[in-house]
Amino acid sequence: MKPKKRKLLDLLMLFLLLSGIGILAYPFVSDALNNYLDQQIISHYQQQAVKENEAIMAKIQKDMTKKNQQLAKKGGNPGVDPFTKKKEPVKTDKTYFEKHTIGVLTIPEINVHLPIFDETNTVLLEKGASLLEGTSYPTGGESTHAVISSHRGLPQAKLFTDLPKLTLGDSFYIEINGQTLAYQVDQIKTVEPTDTKDLRIEKGKDFVTLLTCTPYMINSHRLLVRGHRVPYHAKKVQKEVQKVSENKRFFLYGLIAISILIFLFLIYLFRQTFKIRNRR
């Protein structure tokens, strides 16, 4: 084979190899980047919560509690299924997500650490966990039922992909208005998208339901994972939340390190191939 054709063939093979690696790596890289942005949004929310004085935090809590009480009188009115909404053009940047963030959801069992947004639309659903319209704010208290939804099966982010792995007795935590609330899973159901009776408020109960699509990649039904409020043990919860946050960070660093090693190996392989070819 002529040197020129051989060189072109080498370049083509390198291109195909890089393309294959890129396709295989896309879900991991995009998920890592999405996680990084989520952690930045969460960090901003937590820093703002520290900066706000107690009076401001108390007012926000009071306003949310008042709205929850008004909603409780109606028994709750869960909005339209969040996963059937049409995608609307929304101008987004980091500040868009930050201004809609009202809390943080942590599920240690499946390594989830997501910002909670104050409304549900297609853009927010792809970035974190969203509060379903017509349900309580996740501030806790009697006669409240917050419904928090997110996607599963997205190629660019895991989000609620592992939600079906939760079992009865598992815990999840919500950080909001300077406090952390603990919930224990007591009910897991699969329902039709239009079936909202399990999302309604029950008098005297303090519930949070995590909502996503199921089965995986088919999305014909909805998975409901409900938790009831349990006592908050600060040391235990802080340790679990910190572990999840660290896992997210280590995954990103590990992915960067592996990417650099693969890149260096490809350069080495390419140079060695050319050296061998040039000797012939």
**Residue 276 in tokens:** 């061998």
Catalytic residue among 100, 113, 213, 233: 213
Q: How many residues does the chain have?
A: 280
CA 91 centroid distance within chain: 20
Question: Quick check: is 213 catalytic?
Answer: yes
Catalytic residue among 151, 221, 228, 233: 151
**Residue 5 in tokens:** 């054709």
Q: Which helix (H) or strand (E) holds 182?
A: strand 179-191
How far apart, in whole angstroms, are the C-alpha atoms of residue 61 and residue 115?
18
Question: Quick check: is 233 catalytic?
Answer: no
For the residues of 191-231, what is the DSSP string, one character each? Answer: E-TT--GGGS--TT-EEEEEEEEESTTT--EEEEEEEEEE-
For 155-176, letters b (16+ CB in 10 Å) and e give eebbbbbebbebeeebbbbbbb
Catalytic residues: 151, 213
